Amino acid sequence: MRILLVLVFACGSSSTPPSSPTPAAKVDPCKPAYAEYASRWRIARSEELKEVGFDRDSIDEVIQIEIALLPKTADLAKLRTQYTAIALFLPDAPWPRALDAAEVAIEACGEEAPHP
């Protein structure tokens, strides 16, 4: 009888200890902010370059160069000055939205941060 109790006790105690919860993976705030910036910038810049006669390949090349790094805050301020009238009358126009997205990306990633 004792042997039976020892076997039952030994088999019952072989359960694994409860695992500790794994910490949630931290989400890099830079990636979504940079993606939004790149998307908004591409839309605004494409329209602008198309109006002055650039072909699709040239537009893509210029945009790839421009979105490779985030702009500086000072450069962003200059662009905002240029597009003030548009922002006042058309706040949903591509450039005000692109500049807003660039500002958020700079806050998340830093000035002149490379594409993550």
Q: DSSP letters of the chain?
A: -HHHHHHHHHHHTTPPPPPPPPPPPPP-THHHHHHHHHHHHHHHHHHHHHHTT--HHHHHHHHHHHHTBPPPHHHHHHHHHHTHHHHHH-TTSHHHHHHHHHHHHHHHH-TTPBP-
Mean pLDDT, residues 48-52: 94
Note whether residue 77 is domain-resident: yes
Compute the distance between CA of residue 88 and CA of residue 59 in angstroms, rounded to an integer.
Answer: 27
Minimum mean pLDDT range among 2-6, 27-31, 49-53, 112-116: 2-6
Note whether residue 39 is domain-resident: yes
Note whether residue 98 is domain-resident: yes
Note whether residue 86 is domain-resident: yes
| Res. 17: pLDDT tops 90 | no
Domain count, the chain: 1
Note whether residue 54 is domain-resident: yes
Note whether residue 97 is domain-resident: yes
Mean pLDDT score of the chain, rounded to an integer?
83
Note whether residue 44 is domain-resident: yes
Note whether residue 87 is domain-resident: yes
Q: What is the pTM of this model?
A: 0.71
| Res. 24: pLDDT tops 80 | no
- pLDDT band with cut points at 50, 70 and 90 for residue 8: very low
Domain of residue 60 covers 27-109
| Residue 45: per-residue pLDDT | 94
| Res. 10: pLDDT tops 80 | no
- pLDDT band with cut points at 50, 70 and 90 for residue 5: very low
